[in-house]
Amino acid sequence: MTLRINLALLAVAALVNVSAHAADFKLSSQTIKNNKPLDSLQVFNRFGCNGGNTSPDLHWSGEPAGTKSFAITIYDPSAPSISGWWHWTMVNIPASVHNLEIDAGNANGKNVPAGAVQGRNDYGYAGFGGACPPPGFKSHPYIFTVWALDTDKLPITEESSGALVGYQLKAHMIAKAELKPVYGKK
Protein backbone atom coordinates (compact mmCIF):
# COMPACT_ATOMS: atom_id res chain seq x y z
CA MET A 1 0.00 0.00 0.00
CA THR A 2 2.82 2.41 0.88
CA LEU A 3 4.49 1.75 -2.47
CA ARG A 4 1.27 2.72 -4.31
CA ILE A 5 0.96 5.93 -2.32
CA ASN A 6 4.60 6.83 -2.98
CA LEU A 7 4.19 6.14 -6.72
CA ALA A 8 1.00 8.22 -6.80
CA LEU A 9 2.78 11.11 -5.03
CA LEU A 10 5.68 10.91 -7.50
CA ALA A 11 3.26 11.00 -10.43
CA VAL A 12 1.47 14.05 -9.00
CA ALA A 13 4.80 15.80 -8.36
CA ALA A 14 5.89 15.14 -11.94
CA LEU A 15 2.63 16.57 -13.30
CA VAL A 16 2.95 19.68 -11.13
CA ASN A 17 6.54 20.14 -12.30
CA VAL A 18 5.56 19.81 -16.00
CA SER A 19 2.60 22.18 -15.47
CA ALA A 20 4.83 24.76 -13.78
CA HIS A 21 7.26 24.70 -16.69
CA ALA A 22 4.43 24.86 -19.22
CA ALA A 23 3.06 27.97 -17.47
CA ASP A 24 6.32 29.81 -18.22
CA PHE A 25 6.23 28.89 -21.92
CA LYS A 26 4.62 31.77 -23.85
CA LEU A 27 3.76 32.49 -27.48
CA SER A 28 3.25 36.08 -28.63
CA SER A 29 2.89 38.08 -31.83
CA GLN A 30 2.66 41.68 -32.95
CA THR A 31 0.29 40.56 -35.73
CA ILE A 32 -2.24 38.24 -34.06
CA LYS A 33 -3.98 38.33 -30.66
CA ASN A 34 -6.16 35.95 -28.64
CA ASN A 35 -9.87 36.18 -29.50
CA LYS A 36 -9.26 39.00 -32.01
CA PRO A 37 -9.98 38.72 -35.76
CA LEU A 38 -7.11 37.81 -38.05
CA ASP A 39 -5.84 40.55 -40.32
CA SER A 40 -6.53 40.14 -44.05
CA LEU A 41 -2.82 39.39 -44.45
CA GLN A 42 -3.40 35.99 -42.77
CA VAL A 43 -6.39 35.13 -45.01
CA PHE A 44 -6.01 32.65 -47.89
CA ASN A 45 -6.07 33.99 -51.46
CA ARG A 46 -8.19 31.38 -53.32
CA PHE A 47 -11.43 29.44 -52.88
CA GLY A 48 -13.44 32.66 -52.55
CA CYS A 49 -11.07 34.28 -50.06
CA ASN A 50 -9.07 37.40 -50.87
CA GLY A 51 -6.17 37.84 -48.50
CA GLY A 52 -2.41 38.07 -48.38
CA ASN A 53 -1.85 34.41 -47.41
CA THR A 54 1.08 35.50 -45.25
CA SER A 55 2.09 33.86 -41.97
CA PRO A 56 2.28 36.21 -38.97
CA ASP A 57 5.29 36.96 -36.81
CA LEU A 58 5.59 34.56 -33.87
CA HIS A 59 7.79 34.90 -30.77
CA TRP A 60 8.19 32.43 -27.90
CA SER A 61 10.07 32.24 -24.62
CA GLY A 62 10.20 30.35 -21.34
CA GLU A 63 10.56 26.87 -22.82
CA PRO A 64 11.28 24.09 -20.33
CA ALA A 65 14.73 22.63 -19.75
CA GLY A 66 15.47 19.75 -22.10
CA THR A 67 13.88 21.40 -25.14
CA LYS A 68 15.82 20.24 -28.21
CA SER A 69 13.67 21.78 -30.96
CA PHE A 70 10.42 23.59 -31.64
CA ALA A 71 7.51 23.12 -34.01
CA ILE A 72 4.71 25.45 -35.12
CA THR A 73 1.20 24.41 -36.09
CA ILE A 74 -1.94 26.26 -37.05
CA TYR A 75 -5.13 24.27 -36.85
CA ASP A 76 -8.84 25.09 -37.28
CA PRO A 77 -10.89 22.58 -35.25
CA SER A 78 -14.16 24.18 -36.48
CA ALA A 79 -13.62 23.57 -40.20
CA PRO A 80 -16.62 21.82 -41.77
CA SER A 81 -14.81 18.51 -42.16
CA ILE A 82 -14.53 15.43 -39.99
CA SER A 83 -10.92 16.22 -39.11
CA GLY A 84 -10.59 20.01 -38.82
CA TRP A 85 -8.12 21.85 -41.07
CA TRP A 86 -4.32 22.08 -40.90
CA HIS A 87 -3.16 25.51 -42.10
CA TRP A 88 0.53 25.18 -41.36
CA THR A 89 3.09 22.86 -39.82
CA MET A 90 6.78 23.56 -39.39
CA VAL A 91 9.05 21.20 -37.44
CA ASN A 92 12.74 20.80 -36.60
CA ILE A 93 13.10 24.47 -35.67
CA PRO A 94 16.43 24.60 -33.80
CA ALA A 95 16.25 25.20 -30.04
CA SER A 96 18.29 28.40 -30.55
CA VAL A 97 15.47 29.97 -32.64
CA HIS A 98 12.78 31.84 -30.67
CA ASN A 99 10.90 33.71 -33.36
CA LEU A 100 9.61 33.56 -36.91
CA GLU A 101 9.22 36.76 -38.86
CA ILE A 102 6.24 37.64 -41.03
CA ASP A 103 6.07 35.34 -44.11
CA ALA A 104 8.29 32.61 -42.61
CA GLY A 105 5.69 30.16 -43.91
CA ASN A 106 6.04 31.18 -47.55
CA ALA A 107 5.77 28.08 -49.75
CA ASN A 108 9.04 29.02 -51.48
CA GLY A 109 10.82 28.09 -48.24
CA LYS A 110 13.29 30.98 -48.36
CA ASN A 111 12.24 32.28 -44.91
CA VAL A 112 12.31 28.91 -43.12
CA PRO A 113 15.02 28.61 -40.42
CA ALA A 114 17.98 26.39 -41.39
CA GLY A 115 17.13 22.74 -40.71
CA ALA A 116 13.39 23.32 -40.31
CA VAL A 117 10.81 21.59 -42.54
CA GLN A 118 7.29 22.69 -43.50
CA GLY A 119 4.76 19.88 -43.81
CA ARG A 120 1.83 19.73 -46.23
CA ASN A 121 -1.19 21.83 -45.24
CA ASP A 122 -4.76 20.81 -46.05
CA TYR A 123 -4.70 23.03 -49.15
CA GLY A 124 -2.21 20.49 -50.53
CA TYR A 125 1.20 22.18 -50.38
CA ALA A 126 4.05 22.69 -47.89
CA GLY A 127 3.80 26.13 -46.33
CA PHE A 128 1.35 28.51 -44.68
CA GLY A 129 -2.25 28.49 -45.91
CA GLY A 130 -4.37 31.28 -44.47
CA ALA A 131 -7.86 31.28 -43.02
CA CYS A 132 -10.74 30.66 -45.44
CA PRO A 133 -13.88 29.44 -43.71
CA PRO A 134 -17.03 29.00 -45.81
CA PRO A 135 -19.33 32.04 -45.96
CA GLY A 136 -22.12 32.17 -43.40
CA PHE A 137 -20.30 30.20 -40.69
CA LYS A 138 -19.58 31.74 -37.32
CA SER A 139 -16.01 32.84 -36.64
CA HIS A 140 -13.60 29.95 -36.39
CA PRO A 141 -10.78 29.72 -33.85
CA TYR A 142 -7.34 29.40 -35.41
CA ILE A 143 -5.05 27.69 -32.93
CA PHE A 144 -1.45 28.85 -33.36
CA THR A 145 0.76 26.54 -31.29
CA VAL A 146 4.48 26.43 -30.59
CA TRP A 147 5.62 23.04 -29.36
CA ALA A 148 8.74 22.44 -27.22
CA LEU A 149 10.06 18.99 -28.16
CA ASP A 150 12.39 16.43 -26.59
CA THR A 151 14.08 15.66 -29.92
CA ASP A 152 16.04 17.81 -32.35
CA LYS A 153 14.60 16.13 -35.44
CA LEU A 154 11.24 14.61 -36.35
CA PRO A 155 10.93 12.32 -39.42
CA ILE A 156 8.80 14.82 -41.33
CA THR A 157 9.06 15.84 -45.00
CA GLU A 158 7.28 18.41 -47.17
CA GLU A 159 4.80 15.65 -48.05
CA SER A 160 3.86 14.88 -44.43
CA SER A 161 0.22 15.57 -43.54
CA GLY A 162 -0.91 17.60 -40.56
CA ALA A 163 -2.20 14.40 -38.95
CA LEU A 164 1.22 12.75 -39.20
CA VAL A 165 2.93 15.87 -37.85
CA GLY A 166 0.40 16.00 -34.99
CA TYR A 167 1.08 12.37 -34.13
CA GLN A 168 4.83 13.03 -33.95
CA LEU A 169 4.33 16.18 -31.89
CA LYS A 170 2.18 14.38 -29.29
CA ALA A 171 4.88 11.72 -28.95
CA HIS A 172 7.68 14.27 -28.34
CA MET A 173 5.98 17.21 -26.61
CA ILE A 174 7.48 18.67 -23.46
CA ALA A 175 5.23 21.75 -23.43
CA LYS A 176 3.16 23.91 -25.76
CA ALA A 177 1.97 27.51 -25.87
CA GLU A 178 -0.94 28.86 -27.92
CA LEU A 179 -2.57 31.93 -29.40
CA LYS A 180 -6.19 31.69 -30.61
CA PRO A 181 -7.30 34.45 -32.96
CA VAL A 182 -10.60 34.07 -34.84
CA TYR A 183 -11.88 34.65 -38.36
CA GLY A 184 -15.20 34.34 -40.15
CA LYS A 185 -16.89 35.42 -43.41
CA LYS A 186 -20.43 36.70 -43.78
**What does the pLDDT look like over 74-106, one tens digit per residue?**
999 998 889 999 999 999 999 999 999 999 999
Q: Where are the domains of the chain?
A: 26-183
CATH architecture of residue range(s) 26-183: Alpha-Beta Complex (3.90)
- Determine the straight-line distance between the first and last CA of the chain, rounded to whole angstroms: 61
Candidates 36, 3, 19, 10; CA nearest to 184 is 36
In DSSP terms, 100 is beta-bridged to 58
For 4-52, the pLDDT digits (tens) are 555 454 445 444 444 445 579 999 999 999 999 999 999 999 988 899 9
Give me the percent of the chain exceeding a pLDDT of 70: 87
Q: What are phi and psi of 102, to 5 degrees?
A: -55, 135
CA 26 to chain centre: 13
Question: Could you give the dihedral angle defined by the CA atoms of residues 23, 27, 32 and 33, in that order, rounded to the nearest 10 degrees?
Answer: 10
Using CA atoms, how far residue 68 sits from 63, 77, 145, in Å, is 10, 28, 17
Q: Which residues contact 145 (CB under 8 A, 6 or more apart)?
A: 27, 72, 73, 74, 75, 176, 177, 178
| pTM for the full predicted model | 0.87
Length of the chain as a residue count? 186
pLDDT at res. 38: 95
